[in-house]
Amino acid sequence: MKLWSKGVDADKSVELFTVGRDRELDLKLAKYDVLGSMAHIRMLQSIGLLEQSELDVLLKEMDVILEEIENGNFVIEADVEDIHSQIELLLTRRLGETGKKIHSGRSRNDQVLVDLKLFFKNEIRDIAKLMKQLFDTLTELSEANREVLMPGYTHFQIAMPSSFGLWFGAYAESLTDDALLLEAAYRHANQNPLGSAAGYGSSFPLNRTMTAELLGFETLHFNSIAAQMSRGKTERTFGYAMAAIAGTLSKLAGDICLYMSQNFGFVSFPDELTTGSSIMPHKKNPDMFELIRGKCNRLQALPNELTLVTSNLPSGYHRDFQLLKEILFPAIDELKNCLAMSDYMLKNITVNTSITDDPLYDCLFTVEDVNRKVLSGVPFRDAYREIGRQVQEKSYTPNREIHHTHEGSIGNLCTDSIREKMNERLKLIIL
């Protein structure tokens, strides 16, 4: 069934090529297509395009279809083009002429936009919840390990004292920056396109504010052309947010892969969370984090891929947009898995509490000793040269005492402030 059919069948090869993966991917939109249609027909009844009795039977049947979707009993038939066609076909089969009335005042263009925006809102909410779980784990680890020193590095060279509290907290706060982009993606999706039809509105007296309220949208895409132009733009905004989160996870995974190696030995995990070698019995490989790193590096290509598909398209609908689902839908599942597994692994991490006792890390404390001399009245440059001379002559003996007090330092992690920042940025989505 094709909603656009005028009695002439499309060439089979053309049909297969144009339908693509829609029958598979549109199942993710099925629930939202029904919810959008329910709001639309309520609005149609309010403006006199449906009788109350027709609305009642349509809503009752849509509840049945919604239950079939929730129970996993819904399919898009092999000869049906997409989710919109399948829903209308089922209503027409079950209710006759009344089922044919639901499409008045809309196009598949605004119908799929509604489905996608509702779907994206829900997926963004799920990602935000998973991100918040990981954030909570990181802040808890930060506080629990606030006194445990670890080496800080620049240029892969031993630099200055850090701490596990500072390291875990850094990734927690990095997620708060990613939450800004996720909030922007949510706001972009939280606008109602229904009633823009094919992109130029309708001669029916549609009540678009009513459908926006029924569907829980914050506002409208007021201009009908702008509503259609949001196709691709919403996906790109979401893609940028996902890429930012993936960037944070990739860097965290990279750190852990490095810190798990025997040359560092900063962190470890239970044997059952690592993998081994077929010939080297000592191996405990960080395969989980290597895969998270690889998957998240790939996810960082999302904005570019989405942009390339939609670049240089003039206003109005184009079939190119169909490909965005093939790019974005699997990526959403991938990111959610990476967030969940990162949290699971970190809940089982063990940190090395005596790393900096090793003489290998004596030079970590040179800046501390320079600063002590400065506080005692020695000019900074003179203190710097003196400690540098001791290091070169191998006579340097570090004072391992640490006294950092400023905001965001080893001794003042500002965890509560970081938590407030995250709560503020996620409150629109989940809090």
Per residue in 9-20, pLDDT tens?
666 777 667 667
What's the CA gap between 169 and 167, in Å, rounded?
5
Residue 203: DSSP 8-state: S
* Sequence-distant (≥ 6) Cβ neighbours of residue 183 within 8 angstroms: 425, 426, 428, 429
Does 387 map to a domain?
Answer: yes
Does 217 map to a domain?
Answer: no
For residue 23, name the pLDDT band (cuts at 50, 70, 90): confident
Q: Is 2 helix (H, G, I), strand (E, B) or coil?
A: coil
Range of the domain at 386: 359-392
The enclosing domain of 87 has a CATH number of 1.10.275.10
Q: What is the mean pLDDT of residues 107-121?
A: 96
**With contact defined as beta carbons under 8 Å apart, do 296 and 338 qualify?**
yes
For residue 50, the tally of other CB atoms under 10 A from its CB is 21
Does 86 map to a domain?
Answer: yes
Q: Specify the pLDDT at position 348.
A: 98
Q: Specify the pLDDT at position 4.
A: 43
Residue pLDDT, tens place only, 129-177: 999 999 999 999 999 999 999 999 999 999 999 999 999 999 999 999 9
114 against 2, higher pLDDT: 114
Element containing residue 125 per DSSP (H, E): helix 108-144
Same domain for 281 and 262? yes
User: 317 φ, ψ to 5°?
Assistant: -80, 145
User: For residue 381, what are the CA distances in angstroms to 6, 105, 360, 370?
Assistant: 85, 76, 25, 9
The enclosing domain of 247 has a CATH number of 1.20.200.10
Among 155, 282, 354, 406, the active-site one is 155
Residue pLDDT, tens place only, 342-371: 999 999 999 999 999 999 999 999 999 999
Does 4 map to a domain?
Answer: no
Same domain for 171 and 31? no
Per-residue burial over 268-280, b if 16 or more Cβ lie within 10 Å, else e, is bbeeebbeeeeee
Residue pLDDT, tens place only, 192-223: 999 999 999 999 999 999 999 999 999 999 99
User: 150 φ, ψ to 5°?
Assistant: -145, 160
What's the CA gap between 29 and 117, in Å, rounded?
10
Same domain for 112 and 95? no
Helices (H) and strands (E) in the chain, counts: 15, 6
Same domain for 142 and 42? no
Residue pLDDT, tens place only, 53-77: 999 999 999 999 999 999 999 999 9
Residue pLDDT, tens place only, 298-313: 999 999 999 999 998 9
Same domain for 372 and 238? no
Which residue has tokens 């893609």? 239
Residue pLDDT, tens place only, 375-409: 999 999 999 999 999 999 999 999 999 989 999 99
Residue pLDDT, tens place only, 211-259: 999 999 999 999 999 999 999 999 999 999 999 999 999 999 999 999 9
What mean pLDDT value characterizes the chain? 94
Same domain for 300 and 275? yes
* Sequence-distant (≥ 6) Cβ neighbours of residue 413 within 8 angstroms: 142, 143, 146, 165, 166, 169
Same domain for 378 and 264? no
Same domain for 422 and 380? no
Does 172 map to a domain?
Answer: yes
Same domain for 285 and 155? yes
Two structure tokens written together for 392: 């070169």
**With contact defined as beta carbons under 8 Å apart, do 413 and 165 qualify?**
yes
5 against 250, higher pLDDT: 250
Among 5, 53, 261, 277, the active-site one is 277
- Furthest C-alpha separation in the chain: 94
Overall number of domains in the chain: 3
Same domain for 25 and 170? no
Does 431 map to a domain?
Answer: no
Last residue of a domain, one of 86, 101, 116: 101
Last residue of a domain, one of 101, 117, 148: 101
What's the CA gap between 316 and 318, in Å, rounded?
7
Last residue of a domain, one of 48, 76, 101: 101
**With contact defined as beta carbons under 8 Å apart, do 248 and 175 qualify?**
yes
Start-to-end C-alpha separation, the chain: 43
Does 273 map to a domain?
Answer: yes
Q: Specify the pLDDT at position 15.
A: 67
297 against 2, higher pLDDT: 297
Same domain for 292 and 265? yes
Q: Specify the pLDDT at position 18.
A: 67
Same domain for 72 and 182? no
**With contact defined as beta carbons under 8 Å apart, do 83 and 68 qualify?**
no
> Has 311 been annotated as catalytic?
no
DSSP 25-50: HGGGGHHHHHHHHHHHHHHHHHTTSS
**Percent of all residues in the chain with a pLDDT value above 90, rounded to a whole number:** 89
> Has 277 been annotated as catalytic?
yes
Residue pLDDT, tens place only, 273-293: 988 878 888 888 899 999 999
**With contact defined as beta carbons under 8 Å apart, do 227 and 197 qualify?**
no
User: For residue 238, what are the CA distances in angstroms to 72, 244, 302, 358?
Assistant: 27, 10, 9, 46
Does 195 map to a domain?
Answer: yes
What's the CA gap between 56 and 46, in Å, rounded?
13
Element containing residue 350 per DSSP (H, E): strand 350-351
